[in-house]
Amino acid sequence: MSKISSVFMMIALATAGLAAGYIFNSWQHEQKLSASKITDDGQSLVSNVRPLFKLNDLEDKVRDVKEWDGNVLMINFWATWCPPCRKEMPAFIELQEKYKDKGFTIIGVALDEKQAVIDFTEPMGMNYPILLGEQQGMPLTTAYGNRLGVLPFTVIVDRHGNIIHRKRSEITFPQAEAMIKPLL
């Protein structure tokens, strides 16, 4: 093997090692964030209170997260340009339909331009509130625990306003259902 080949091999191995370390660290951090447990009586063992916010909806009405106090909330931060975000939307529509009468609400916070959000959501038949995060969106995800700024980012909030679960990455119907059912 030539000296140049050896150098490229060492660089490739170092890069792979760094990438593996980053992925492992991110996974480990996700496990810690998801480690919130619920007691048998439905109370959170972690006091992690939901940050308050007010954002416009697609009709330019200011919506306050407090209007959903007393409900189990799934707050999903997403963008139209994010493929995993787009992929999880049908599951959210199904979840909202299935559990809306049990005090469950999904709030979608779009980190995108209003027209792009309207163009995406109208054909989908969204059955839950979509709010426009705009400039407040990324700082708001950070306030909810998304230190890496990853999308999609979803939090589950119990009826008392405590954040029970955080999920960075796409969430499936069975995963979301398993998180919300004990809280309903």
75 in Cβ contact with 155 (< 8 Å): yes
pLDDT tens-digit readout, 47-72: 389 999 999 999 999 999 999 999 99
Residue with tokens 């398993």: 178
pLDDT for 97-111, tens place per residue? Answer: 999 999 999 999 999
Q: Check: CB of residue 150 under 8 Å from CB of residue 169.
A: yes
User: Where are the domains positioned within the chain?
Assistant: 1-33, 38-183
Q: Which amino acid is at 141?
A: T
Question: Rounded to two decimals, what is the model's pTM?
Answer: 0.74
Mean pLDDT, the chain, rounded, equals: 84
Whether domain 38-183 has CATH 3.40.30.10: the reply is yes
